[in-house]
Structure 1
Amino acid sequence: MPLPQDLLRRLYTEPPEGFVATRDAAVAEARRSGDPATAREIARLRRPTVAAWLVNLLALRRPELVADLTQLAEALRAAQRDLRGPRLRELSAQRRAAVAALVAEARRLAADVEGGPPAGKLPLGEVEATLNAALSDAGVAEQVRSGRLLRAASYAGFGEVPRPQLRLVTGGEEPTPPAGPPAGPGHRAADRRTGRGEHAGRADQAGRKAGRADHADHAAREAGRTTREDDRAERAARKADRAERDAARATREAERAARAERARQRRALERELTRARTDQERAEAELAGAAEAEHDGAEELAGIERSLAELERRRARAEQELSRRKLARRAAERAVTAARRRTGEVEGAIEAVDAEEGAAAEGPGGAD
């Protein structure tokens, strides 16, 4: 049964100082839950070093950056296989930039982790070495992607140089001297009687000579074998030297290409800066014109508002004068009405007087 991913993520992203306590707590929890198999699996987990922890932070919190590094590694290996120098130099420059960016991101991620090591004690050199190893070794790259790296890795850059397999040549026992030709009965009798000791001495001397010859042949064969092995070792060393020189030359060419690329980028940025400054000056001039127009508009609006205020005051005075005149008109209308009423009353009185005079005049005179 696979372990819970959230537990693995928590274990390998928290500072290494808290790894053991968190792991032991998870073991105890699994045991309380009646899952001894999971408890044993969790107990087997090992605490990473600080450098491995930083790499695990990258793999678990910024997996897209690690994926980009893997793609760059595949491109580098393809360029090395195809011996494409310009492409290799370009990719080498990208490799340095990518590794530097990842190291900076690891420093930033570590700063965001509560209780992590201080920034001055982070083993960023080991992180860089591990990332470079991941670029060169697919096995290291797989460990980095897993987010469960336990220790930093490194890579020499040229692969393994074959070691000469030398054997120590030692002298063996001298061979048993070969027996001489069989002697006839007469000789054996004479040997037994007079020259047995002399004959044995000559046979022993001949045997020693044959043994020395065999030993010399054996030593010559071993010397030749040793010489061939030394030659192979020398060729391997020369091959390694050539590889190192080629790598150094590729590094220098990559650095020159990187410098040229930086110079090109600087020129492009300077041109862009010139255009940006020109646009800035144009925008500032437009801003000054717009600010001046805004000021003029504000002045014009203030003048209009002053005129409106004056008109409002004049309107208020006109309304007051109109009200006064309306009152005067109403008073005049009342006066006219009263005058007309009085005129009618006077006219009625006059008519009554005239009527009385007429009646009086007609009465006495008519009787005579």
Structure 2
Amino acid sequence: MRTALVIGTGLIGTSAALALTDRGVTVHLADHDPDRARTAAARGAGTDAPPEGPVDLCVVAVPPAHVAATLAEAMRAGAARGYLDVASVKGGPQRELAALGADLSSYIGTHPMSGKEQSGPLAGSGDLFEGRPWVLTPSRDTHTEVLNLALELVALCRAVPVVMDADAHDRAVALVSHTPQLVSSMVAARLEQAEETAVRLCGQGIRDVTRIAASDPRMWVDILSANPGPVADVLAALAADLDETVRSLRALQSADDGKRDEGVTGVEDVLRRGNAGRARVPGKHGTAPAAYETVAVLISDQPGELARIFADAGRAGVNIEDVRIEHATGQQAGVVQLMVAPTAAPLLAASLRERGWALRQ
């Protein structure tokens, strides 16, 4: 791949363009808002000048509702040898493109499973996709050359290709992406009118649950509008669990010992099923989640403190598998949780104490 056209210079389009440009591909940028394309170009994502002829690959990075029409227009103009989109739903755009009479042999649907709460060209990053799954949903008509171009794009972005059926993909993202967004927003919405004393008690748990609730509502309306059925199916199953859990909690208020026992059983059941489901979430490098041990260290909110603690862990010869930071409300301090192999935890704890760090049980 020597040349590419990226249509849509939001977070995903700009990030893909930055990655391609960094690896020597000449990238042309287009957007319905010329200012966004100019902003992406100013960031080094390519040029906002139109290509002089067909490029190797056209990447359509527009909202799902506009994917098919944008692809069809580019195809009619003969913009590229191959075409793909990066929308978060796949079945609908593919069917819409076929209904428009487009040649599906030059097209493949894709979806990079990566993003963040910010949007727009200024949020783009050339390393956004590194190590992340990038789903490819070829149809029966997709030409091998186009599939190879898509695989090359994924490789240049340093992502991991995953081939799926389009409708299976949409059911999967309804469960692992779209429903979590709505649930996060629903939990965060409870905080809007909450008393200030309650909000001040927010800890790491509520921060984790509500992190993605900061996402752009307009963007998510576009996404959910393109995949409403599968998302509604997951929410209906979740609603059944919620109803049962509410009944169990009400039973715990009963004066009847039998009902309280039923309540305990119901609450325990959902918590245990949650444990089982969480255990299936892939861990580091996509492997089965490992049982890490946590070494919790008190840390002040000052420049260089994180670098110092990581350096001290390195001097102890311990690899940090994962890290989390819990901030103390109203204080310039917090707790950094270092996840390490169980056999390494005692060594790390002893080494950090020797170097003056205060550990938390």
TM-score category (smaller protein): under 0.3
Q: Which has the higher helix share?
A: 1
Structure number with bigger Rg: 1
TM, length-normalised to structure 1: 0.18
TM-score by length of 2: 0.19
